[in-house]
Structure 1
């Protein structure tokens, strides 16, 4: 670029910058100015859509999942055994709303939290029972779900009959 073009560009940028920051200039004012609001239609207020509180929505959706039953499993003692789930990246535990599961959850909640286990609540009559379990283990993620499909898939290799239990990549234990 030549020196003259550079100077012209610099002058143009300076003028454009000054105009962009300049105050508005009144060209004519008769003293009878009117607001533009009379000529521009106001937007119509939109009715507010019903938005349920997130907690109420979650409770409503959860409530539809109950009762949860897994007739193939009952509360009881589980003998430790080797797991066939070497590819399992996150431990899973099975619990119900029975007294044994509640005691187990209280006793091993810290261990379950430490290993990052996710809980499948496989037996609960109502949302209230599920929420009681969640209150026993507030730092754990619990999901209400029937364990029937899980038991059927494991039946050929393992003989699961009881819960509560923890399933990890290496072991199944209580």
Structure 2
């Protein structure tokens, strides 16, 4: 048979099967296949999730602690975000339901003035502050003195800036938008 006639004969079968495939697409597809491999059990054992009967108990894996004091924070300073500089931020809408408000600032005059102007609003929103450019513990303390009671954490934010499409700070990020 010629390829053209095969295509013509196959067309009615394709048309007849179309409603069946549409019906099948509405049901969830479950694919089960085992290609062998290595057991993941050792990874779960390392987590110490549940003790196994007759197994030797291992000591838990220590979880590193973040610095909780100013002295501890001094160890991670200076914090620099190469992709962020002080400047104007255009207001725009985002959809991030459930996102706790947070803001980005640096240890510079633009951020200092912005923090003074917006302190009450940030406090009302319970916004957390990320200090994205700060050289010293004294610089971080100056910012904290401008807005006592607000949480301010020194954090490099290059990845965050890229994900949010930000190039400048200060900026307030909420569940519904980015603004300055």
Please give the root-mean-square deviation of Cα atoms over the aligned residues, in Å: 1.2
For 1:72, which of 70, 77, 83 is the aligned residue?
83
Listed one character per residue, the Cα deviations across residues 15-74 of structure 1 (whole Å, up to 9, x for unaligned) are xxxxxxxxxxxxxxxxxxxxxxxxxxxxxxxxxxxxxxxxxx812201001000001011
For 2:130, which of 100, 120, 140 is the aligned residue?
120
2:166 aligned residue:
160
Once residues 168 and 59 of structure 1 are traced to their aligned partners in structure 2, the CA distance between those partners, rounded to angstroms, is 28
Map 1:104-143 to 2 at 5 A. Answer: 104-143=114-153
Once residues 95 and 74 of structure 2 are traced to their aligned partners in structure 1, the CA distance between those partners, rounded to angstroms, is 34
**What SS does structure 1 have at the residue aligned with 2:69?**
helix
Stretches of structure 1 lacking an aligned partner (at least 5 in a row): 1-56
**What SS does structure 1 have at the residue aligned with 2:114?**
helix
The ranges of structure 1 where at least 4 consecutive aligned residues each deviate by more than 6 angstroms after the TM superposition are: none
Aligned residues: 113
Structure 1 or 2, whichever has the larger Rg, is: 1
Alpha-carbon offset, residue 85 of structure 1: 1.7
TM-score by length of structure 2 reads 0.60
